[in-house]
Structure 1
């Protein structure tokens, strides 16, 4: 069973306009835009690999996952102090109106990026399902009752199940990458202005 790498146009669009969006940004707004751009570049670098379009490189996956870890979680949340919206900022008022959910998504992203790093040595789901007696029982769906998009009831932010390092360490890297992309997209949908 092949896991489809799920990346929304919102995540991809962020990569394309990053340089333009930084014009006029200063201070904490510039710092967070640079962090978001770095994560976008990591997504852009890993997407063809996760789709099987370029050779798989576990070391590159680990490096890009580390970059995302460094820009997520508390590190990300602290870059959104009250009053830092408006102007060139892409942050919606919902960042501050629902700061607990924003912080939770930032932590979910860090967890998923750490999970991607842990799963890097497992390769892609296709490679695992082609192995007889793979660690996932021959399918990626066997691990938690579904494919990547249903692994956790539609995403970490919607599930009561807490992902553990062991769970990530036993899943294919493209499944963990899908969770990273889903978390980015969920955050963008609620907390980021659409590009004009």
Structure 2
């Protein structure tokens, strides 16, 4: 998919969707919805920057990456205790049936967000003469298109779960140290999308 089309899909406003999704949610379900909304806000904030529509600001990238780091990994998985599905929740039973995979993707998201922060000083791929976000262009449509519980939208992407872009090599933040920031951003979004594909119930 063309990078601009995909980033446009990410940049779709989510405030109203999030408010609707949170209606009737309480307790840990509401808490995780709020966390997912915060991460959706990070994607929405950074999308225009990754497209070159607004001036690039490494400090904003670092701040938004910190926000995502704070909701990923164990901070995410602890908000999905056994028995907290159903009702207004969009989490599929697979969250608990395949909890090891879910936890691995949550950790991948944390790693990718930490990597995004590390890559903030590198600027965009185009600024490095590497083209414009070819890796971003491989990400899928529909991100953030649904409610923010149990993930940030629909769509699909190659599953990551402990490997970087389908490899067997575990991801580490250091892998992002010299990566253009828009490509690191794509890794964040693709990790989200891989999780959505397996663990989030689609809206009908």
User: Same fold, TM exceeding 0.5?
Assistant: yes
Size of the alignment, in residue pairs? 178
Q: Equivalent residue for 1:82?
A: 82
CA distance in 1, matches of 2:54, 2:79: 34
- Listed as ranges, the gaps of 5+ residues in structure 1 are 130-138, 142-146
- Listed as ranges, the gaps of 5+ residues in structure 2 are 139-157
| Structure with greater proportional helix content | 1
Once structures 1 and 2 are overlaid, which stretch shifts more, 102-111 or 16-25?
Answer: 16-25
CA distance in 1, matches of 2:185, 2:159: 12
TM-score by length of 2: 0.78
Preserved CA contact (<8 Å) 1:8 1:185 = no
CA distance in 2, matches of 1:47, 1:57: 12
Residue deviations 1:34-74, cap 9 Å, x none? 00000001000001110111111100000100000000001
TM-score by length of 1: 0.81
Deviation, structure 1 residue 105: 0.5
Preserved CA contact (<8 Å) 1:140 1:171 = no
Preserved CA contact (<8 Å) 2:13 2:44 = no
Residue deviations 1:84-108, cap 9 Å, x none? 0011111011111111111011000
